[in-house]
Amino acid sequence: MGFDLEKSRIIALPEDAFYISDFITEDEEDWLLQKVKSAPLPRWTQLSHRRLQTWPSALTKGNALLESPLPAWLRSPIVEPRFAALCIFNDAPHKAPNHVLVNEYQPGQGIMPHEDGAAYYPLVATVSLGAPIVLNLYHKHAQGDREENEAPAKTGRDVAGIPDTNRRPQYRILQERRSLLITRGKMYTDFLHGIEETTRDEDLSSRSICNWELLREREPYQSGWYERKTRTSLTYRDVLQVVKMGNTLKFLSGR
């Protein structure tokens, strides 16, 4: 597959974001989902609103990654050759992603508005599998002053400690199965992103979905809604600080 990144730009967004609807094939999607499902049970972390896998490992308390390669099934065919052909990680410190989160969202599950933070190079590449879902984007400082709006970024909660379920997104992106979404630069640093906890995504149209013209199929959403099914995402990032296994104890002890 050959892709023109510039033709995939989401022009309704203020900074760099790109959407490729057919990034992987149906056979590749099936194979990747099988790899996700066949992972050993200890690989899964069960959270209150979803479950996830972390590859090659979770970050340390100092937001560093212990040096270890990604498994082959997360590298090919996504990183090699497709990310390499797009050159999207060329400016990142390690020239390629070194960390992947595998998130599974059942119908009704989601994630509060949040930011990925300074542990990563400001670029996220997400491949969606299994089913579509709507990603909501919120400007971090759209209301109030900076200090008040940093609370959702860190905790997914408003300043009173109560989940901010009534906040309206500034932008909405419909991520189809087999698609790739890339956000970088200010789209990474200045915006929160979240997924609504609902069994049905609604208000779907060219007026409300900022990547509408880039969708592979628009007919399934002409009614303005769809029922959620299980969606799995592969989120690729570059962790800035990587420590070698031999230096792990020294690093953790702060010496």
d(CA 149, CA 143): 7
Averaged confidence pLDDT in the chain: 88
List strand residue ranges (DSSP E) for 70-209, in order.
99-105, 111-114, 123-129, 133-139, 171-175, 180-184, 191-195, 200-202
Query: What is the per-residue pLDDT for 166?
Result: 60
DSSP 63: S
Q: State how far the Cα of 85 lies from the Cα of 132, in Å rounded to an integer.
A: 25
Higher pLDDT, 80 or 164: 80
CA angle 164, 167, 172 (to 5 degrees): 125
What count of other Cβ atoms lies within 10 Å of the Cβ of residue 148? 12
Q: Which domains does the chain have, with CATH numbers?
A: 5-142+165-252 (2.60.120.590)
The pTM is what? 0.88
Tokens 């070698």: give the residue. 244
Question: Between residues 48 and 142, which one has the greater pLDDT?
Answer: 48
Residue 236 — very low, low, confident or very high, per pLDDT cuts 50/70/90?
A: very high
Per-residue confidence band for 83, with pLDDT thresholds at 50, 70 and 90: very high
Q: How far apart are CA 126 and CA 184, in angstroms?
A: 12
**pLDDT tens profile 132-187:** 999 999 998 754 333 323 333 333 333 333 345 467 899 999 999 999 999 999 99
State pLDDT tens for residues 103-138.
999 999 999 999 999 999 999 999 999 999 999 999
Q: How far apart are CA 83 and CA 77, in angstroms?
A: 9
